[in-house]
Structure 1
Amino acid sequence: MMLLVVFLIAAIYIFSGFGRLEDKRFLFGSLLMIFYIFLYYIFPVTTSGTSIYIGRLTQYLPVFSYGVILFGHSTLPSNKEKYVHWAGFLGLVFSILSHSTI
């Protein structure tokens, strides 16, 4: 399901005219997301206990961060828009680091 949503977000970004394939944000964000998906499917999260919220967090936080990387400039149209995508990058890096330690 997460893979489908990621492809859907990337397709909307490309075909809606928000950006281009050679955009740095799209390239670096997509590479980080591909790396996270690789980690997610090769090394699945095994949580101790019965909390389903940890499993949901490992799916929704990276997808949300990927969306912020791609669409951050269109959601906050101000002079601070160039810093919004860094929140998405930090969210993806946090997800990768937390997934590799679990």
Structure 2
Amino acid sequence: MMLLVVCLIAGIYLFSGFGRLEDRRFLYGSLLMLFYLVLYYFFPVIPSGASIYIGRLTQYLPIFSYGVILFGHAIPPSHKETYVHWAGFLGLVFSILSNFAM
């Protein structure tokens, strides 16, 4: 399901005219997301205890961060758009590091 949503976000980004395959944000964000998906599927996170919220966080935070990386320039205040992309990158890096920690 997560792979389908990631492909859907990338498809919307490419086919809606927001970006191109040569865009650095798209390339770096997609490579980082693919790395996370490899970790997620080959080394699944087993949350300790009975909390289902940790499992949901490992699915929704990377997808949200990937969307912020790709569509961060669509946020109205244009002078802050560079910081929004970095927030998305940091969210994905945090997700990858938390996958290693669990």
**SS at the partner of 1:46?**
coil
Q: Deviations over 1:28-64 (max 9, x none)?
A: 0000000000000000011111111000000000000
- Residue of structure 1 in register with 2:20 after alignment: 20
1:90 and 1:7 map into 2 onto residues whose CA distance is 21
TM-score where L is the length of structure 2? 0.97
TM-score by length of 1: 0.97
Distance 1:80 1:61 in 2: 21
Q: CA–CA distance in 2 between the matches of 1:10 and 1:31?
A: 12
Root mean square deviation, CA, Å: 0.8
Q: Indicate the residue corresponding to 1:74 in structure 2.
A: 74
Q: Supply the AA of the counterpart residue of 1:53.
A: Y
Report the equivalent of 1:99: 99
Where in structure 2 are there 5+ consecutive unaligned residues?
A: none
- Among all aligned residue pairs of Structure 1 and Structure 2, give the percentage whose two residues are the same amino acid: 78
Q: Secondary structure at the match of 2:55?
A: helix
Aligned AA (1:87)? A
Alpha-carbon separation, structure 2, partners of 1:98 and 1:28:
20
Query: CA separation in 2, counterparts of 1:17 and 1:74?
Result: 12
- Structure 1 counterpart SS, 2:79: coil
Please give the alpha-carbon distance, in whole angstroms, between the structure 2 residues aligned to 1:68 and 1:86. Answer: 9
Counting matched residue pairs gives: 102
Unmatched 5+ stretches in structure 1 = none
Give, in whole Å, the separation in 1 of the partners of 2:35 and 2:78: 31
